[in-house]
Amino acid sequence: MRETKKLKFILLAVALLSFSCVKEDDTCGNKNSETKITKSSNNSSLEADEKCDDDSGTPDDGDNDTVTPPPSSGDPDETDEASLNRPWEREDTSIVIDAYEGNGIDWNKMATDTKVIGVIHRSSIGARIDKKYFERKKIALERGYLWGAYHLGRRGNTKAQADLFLDLIGEDEDTLMILDLEDTASSSFMSIEEAIVFMEYVYEKTGKIPTVYANHTTTKKLNSLVKDNPIFQQSKLWYARFKSHVTDYPGSLWKNYFLWQFSSEINCSRTGTCLYNVPGTEYDMDVNVFNGPPGELTARWNND
């Protein structure tokens, strides 16, 4: 097993590929007020900054020097249609919440729901750090939850965003790394071209491949634009679709989702009436399902 992983890593580090893709779009959104980080060569300092526009910057040139792995066959399985029809209602599935500093969490109440086994939290957006990230990471790990961190990509300064994200992750091998892609055609959010730079840069620095968060529209675009990119071929998909039954899952690049974000304030406007109600949270908490038991999710909770 160890020799196989070593061989895989060697193979992954061999090929040099370059890709050029179109951009997408989005707006500032409501999960974007953070702390801006300013870095010097030796240290970093934080300063308060609540303006969305400050995350804009000059888009990276199409760096084609990053190391990427050789092509992969991707997910060999066919799409599991049963996993797209209210899987959270089955006893053999697992629930993960994802939060940012604007969400409230009553940890004692949430602990009464034994289906909830993981917490994903926004670590950063553009050049800003989420104010609750480290506090909630400590609490979640003390309570035995799986922990994940997502970076919400903004337009421009892609490698600087990746460096900030990696600084926040540190040496923690157990934190699931995620790149959150919103409307990639927007001038405010990371484009697909920049997402390629981000993913390849993280792989070059760590040998790890982040999970990709994307809604239905963005997933379809990724299917078309990065289908031959070996980094994306070997990534996992965190699929956002706010409905109880999906009949048109875009299972091309990713035959099956890793996580499905199915509930949020987008499709629930009152606490207690959502598709799934996690104790200790309000209607605006994002809720996700893993189509399998806790042990299986724990085994797949990695950046390999």
- Chain segment 195-254, per-residue pLDDT in tens: 999 999 999 999 999 999 999 999 999 999 999 999 999 999 999 999 999 999 999 999
> 197 near 157, Cβ under 8 Å?
no
Torsion of CA 281, 283, 285, 290, to 10 degrees: 100
Retrieve residue 174's tokens: 């157990």
Task: Identify the weakest region by mean pLDDT among 17-26, 126-135, 178-187, 242-251.
Answer: 17-26
**In the chain, where the domains are located:** 2-24+57-72+87-300
Angstrom distance (rounded) from CA 252 to CA 79: 9
Percent of the chain with pLDDT over 90: 74
Task: Identify the weakest region by mean pLDDT among 61-70, 80-89, 136-145, 270-279.
Answer: 61-70
Please tell me the class of the 2-24+57-72+87-300 domain: alpha beta
pTM for this predicted structure: 0.79
Percent of the chain with pLDDT over 70: 75
145 has pLDDT over 80: yes
Share the mean pLDDT of the chain.
Answer: 84
- Hey, which bits of the chain come out as E strands? 34-39, 44-49, 94-99, 116-125, 128-129, 146-152, 176-180, 211-215, 237-240, 259-263, 286-290
